[in-house]
Amino acid sequence: MNNTVKISIDNLTKIFYKKNNSVTAFQNVSLQIEEGEFVCLVGPSGCGKTTLLRILAGLELPSSGTFTIDSDSNDRPLQSMVFQEKGVIPWLTVEENVAFGLKMRHLPKEFVRKQTDYYLEKVGLKKFSKLYPKELSGGMKQRISIARAFANDPEILLMDEPFAALDEQNKFILQDELLSIWSETKKTVFFITHSIDEALLLSDRIVLMSAHPGEIIKEIKVPIPRPRTMEQVRANAEMAEQFITIWNHLQQEVQRSRR
Amino acid sequence: MREEKGGVLYDPYETEQQEWKKQQVKDGAKQLLTIISPIIILLLWEIFSRTGILDIRFFPPPSAIVSTFFDLAGSGQLWTHISVSLYRIAAGFLLGVIPGVTIGLLMGLYAPIRHFISPIVMAFMPIPTLALLPIIIILFGIGDFSKVVTIAGSVFFPVVINTVAGVLNIEKVYLDVAKNYGTSPKDFFFKIAFPGALPVMLEGIQMGQAIALLTIVAAEMMGATSGIGYLIWTSYKAFMLKEMFVGLVLISFFGFLFSLFLRGLQKKIVPWR
């Protein structure tokens, strides 16, 4: 892996200001993510993970601090986001949803069609391309979301617990599919999850956040060689230990935030 | 697959088939009820007015109303009334819906416009347009146009309010998706705001259609020389109640027809629902 820094987050803080009751979502978050790296951000709920991602996605502004996403070409979008759920637009067909980013950039029709077809094929939605999302299951809808983000070919991908609402089996299948698409494109991915298993399976590096106000407190490398499977992660003794470490940390944080 | 229970053979497939058949019969019965209810009303009406329980001068039997309908249709004057009313409804409807949708979209999309126009809409909405009819007649005369304006005024409010609600109720995540994927204002309008608001907007248009029919009859009762409302009113004043009932039935018929048409249209333009 080359060591160019792709995402550089520098001392980011976000405060939600309300009269009498301001909430610090997270503070002094600094993080560097390398080109092609898959980083999972794990933390107890309410630690500001989603807010951090939304700031990177340009949906919210930080209260202080800066971030940069390195870009080497002008015609490529900086980032595309895979939303939690319901991020699929119901009045567009599967195909139109996948093509959404490309169409919004008004790229040549032929290119849009090719790119869309390629990713529809990749996620196994080719034969559903003309249907409306209401006719598809939750797992299928998340496939649309993933295909839409990859088809847009951005500098980095942001994923906000994309599998959180899926049942266990669908989750495994989609995680596997995500890894296979990712291994082809080698995009830089910043992925939020509260599932330790998911983080161990997917990421090169896990970043742990504390309960609110969120701060980064620990980083863990995941040295398992790729391609990985859930069985490998489960069978790996070192990973089992890591799981416990992260688990304990989350427990402590949840306890602490209750006090 | 057969299972024995207390000496009786049960076939699960057969059991389910029986259940399915029972359900079919139930569904059929429900449909039958829907068809039967208006027929029962008409039959009772016919019997009651023929046996003198209902006063035939006020409630002529349905069969007499039907034959009056054919008399009026034959003489040709009915078509004039119908076409005049339909023209006024259509023109008034469009004149209410088009500004209603336009202003509603602007209010939904731009908060300053919404805050500026909202109080004006709120203040005018409770005033029945019919109460303004004298002013409308002073301004626009007693011709077609005053009726058209009256209908437009009544149709405008449900449409504008539903359009605003339609835009405001678009799920926030779709706005996030649009922003995240760099949607231009023009694309945002055509790909997100308009289609997203469409279902609720169409509900408003459906309401507007019903209100247009309510309004036309009343508007034609005051200061008109033709139209279904005029037919109802003059027949009533001349105590020709069969003719009056023909007018009432016509309004009911067109209301039903327009509802069916708009429902069909809704299915066509919002297939994703």
Q: Assign residue A102 a region: left if phi > 0, alpha if psi is -120 to 50, beta otherwise?
A: alpha
**Co-location of B88 and B154 in the same domain:** yes
Instruction: Give residue B252's Cα distance to chain centre.
Output: 10
Note whether residue B143 is domain-resident.
Answer: yes
Note whether residue B49 is domain-resident.
Answer: yes
Cβ separation of A91 and B195 shorter than 8 Å? yes
pLDDT the model gives residue A1: 47
**Co-location of B130 and B236 in the same domain:** yes
Q: In the numeric block, which tokens belong to residue B102?
A: 């336009």
**Co-location of B97 and B174 in the same domain:** yes
pLDDT the model gives residue B193: 95
Cβ separation of A100 and B180 shorter than 8 Å? no
Cβ separation of A58 and B179 shorter than 8 Å? yes
**DSSP readout, A123-143?**
TT-GGGTTS-GGGS-HHHHHH
Note whether residue B9 is domain-resident.
Answer: no
pLDDT the model gives residue B1: 47
C-alpha A71/C-alpha A127 separation (Å) is 35
> Does residue B155 contact residue B212 with C-beta atoms inside 8 Å?
yes
**Co-location of B49 and B175 in the same domain:** no
Q: What percent of chain A has a predicted confidence (pLDDT) above 90?
A: 71
Q: In the numeric block, which tokens belong to residue A5?
A: 């820094």
Domains of chain A (ranges, CATH numbers): 5-78+155-258 (3.40.50.300), 88-153 (no CATH)
C-alpha B105/C-alpha B114 separation (Å) is 9
pLDDT the model gives residue A3: 72
Note whether residue B3 is domain-resident.
Answer: no
**Co-location of B222 and B101 in the same domain:** yes
C-alpha B235/C-alpha B227 separation (Å) is 12
Closest-CA residue of chain B to A88? B174
C-alpha B66/C-alpha B57 separation (Å) is 16
DSSP E strands in A43-117: the ranges are 64-69, 79-82
Instruction: Give residue B38's Cα distance to chain centre.
Output: 19
pLDDT band at A2 (very low <50, low <70, confident <90, very high): low
Question: Could you tell me which residues of chain A have a Cβ less than 8 Å from any Cβ in chain B?
Answer: 54, 57-59, 77, 79-81, 83-84, 86-87, 89-92, 100-101, 103-105, 132-134, 148, 152
Strands A64-69 and A5-16: antiparallel
Q: Can you give the pLDDT of all 273 residues of chain B as single tens digits?
A: 455 555 566 788 888 999 999 999 999 999 999 889 989 999 999 999 999 898 988 899 999 999 999 999 998 889 999 999 999 999 999 999 999 999 999 999 999 999 999 999 999 999 999 889 889 989 998 888 999 999 999 999 999 999 999 999 999 999 999 999 999 999 999 999 999 999 999 999 999 999 999 999 989 988 788 999 999 999 999 999 999 999 999 999 999 999 999 999 999 999 998
**Co-location of B25 and B114 in the same domain:** no
Query: What phi and psi values does residue A12 have, to the nearest 5 degrees?
Result: -80, 135
At residue B189, the 3 state secondary structure works out as helix
At residue A119, the 3 state secondary structure works out as helix
Note whether residue B149 is domain-resident.
Answer: yes
Note whether residue B186 is domain-resident.
Answer: yes
- Please provide the distance, in angstroms rounded to a whole number, between the alpha carbons at the two ends of chain A: 43
State the residue range of the domain holding B53: 16-59
Cβ separation of B272 and A100 shorter than 8 Å? no
| Residue B267 contacts A, CB cutoff 8 Å | no
pLDDT the model gives residue A96: 97
- Please provide the distance, in angstroms rounded to a whole number, between the alpha carbons at the two ends of chain B: 41
Number of domains observed in the structure of chain B = 2
> Does residue A76 contact residue A155 with C-beta atoms inside 8 Å?
yes
pLDDT the model gives residue A256: 81
Note whether residue B29 is domain-resident.
Answer: yes
> Does residue A242 contact residue A220 with C-beta atoms inside 8 Å?
yes
Query: What phi and psi values does residue B140 have, to the nearest 5 degrees?
Result: -115, 5
**Co-location of B73 and B24 in the same domain:** no
CA distance, residue A85 to nearest chain B CA (Å):
9
Cβ separation of A134 and B176 shorter than 8 Å? no
The dihedral sign for the CA sequence A86, A88, A89, A90: negative
**Co-location of B74 and B48 in the same domain:** no
The CATH code of the domain that includes B243 is: 1.10.3720.10
C-alpha B162/C-alpha B19 separation (Å) is 43
The dihedral sign for the CA sequence B20, B23, B28, B31: negative
Query: What phi and psi values does residue B256 have, to the nearest 5 degrees?
Result: -60, -45
Cβ separation of A80 and B181 shorter than 8 Å? yes
> Does residue A57 contact residue A221 with C-beta atoms inside 8 Å?
no
**Co-location of B124 and B209 in the same domain:** yes
pLDDT the model gives residue A19: 86
Q: In the numeric block, which tokens belong to residue B213?
A: 């029919």
Q: Whose CA is closest to A221, among A235, A207, A237, A232?
A: A207
Query: What phi and psi values does residue A65 have, to the nearest 5 degrees?
Result: 95, 170
> Does residue B95 contact residue B184 with C-beta atoms inside 8 Å?
no
**Co-location of B91 and B119 in the same domain:** yes
Note whether residue B107 is domain-resident.
Answer: yes
**Chain B 192-231, residues with CB within 8 Å of chain A CB atoms:** 192, 195-196, 198
DSSP-H helix ranges across B52-180: 62-75, 77-109, 111-124, 133-140, 144-168, 172-180
**Co-location of B108 and B29 in the same domain:** no
pLDDT the model gives residue A226: 86
Best mutation target among B167, B170, B177 (most A Cβ atoms within 10 Å) is B177
pLDDT the model gives residue A75: 82
Cβ separation of A91 and B182 shorter than 8 Å? no
Q: Whose CA is closest to A193, among A38, A5, A1?
A: A38
| Residue B8 contacts A, CB cutoff 8 Å | no
Minimum-distance CB partner of B176 among A80, A83, A132: A83
Cβ separation of A57 and B173 shorter than 8 Å? no
| Residue B177 contacts A, CB cutoff 8 Å | yes
Minimum-distance CB partner of A101 among B174, B181, B270: B181
C-alpha B154/C-alpha A228 separation (Å) is 66
**Co-location of B102 and B40 in the same domain:** no
pLDDT the model gives residue B174: 96
Minimum-distance CB partner of A86 among B173, B191, B198: B173
Residues with Cβ within 8 Å of residue B220, at least 6 apart in sequence: B85, B88, B147, B226, B227, B228, B229, B230, B232, B233
Closest-CA residue of chain A to B199? A91
How many angstroms separate the Cα of B258 from the Cα of each of A30, A247, B253?
Answer: 62, 62, 9
Quote the ipTM score.
0.92
Q: In the numeric block, which tokens belong to residue B152?
A: 């437009």
At residue A233, the 3 state secondary structure works out as helix
How many angstroms separate the Cα of A239 from the Cα of each of A25, A182, A253, B201?
Answer: 30, 22, 21, 54
| Residue B166 contacts A, CB cutoff 8 Å | no
Domain final residue pick, B25, B42, B59:
B59
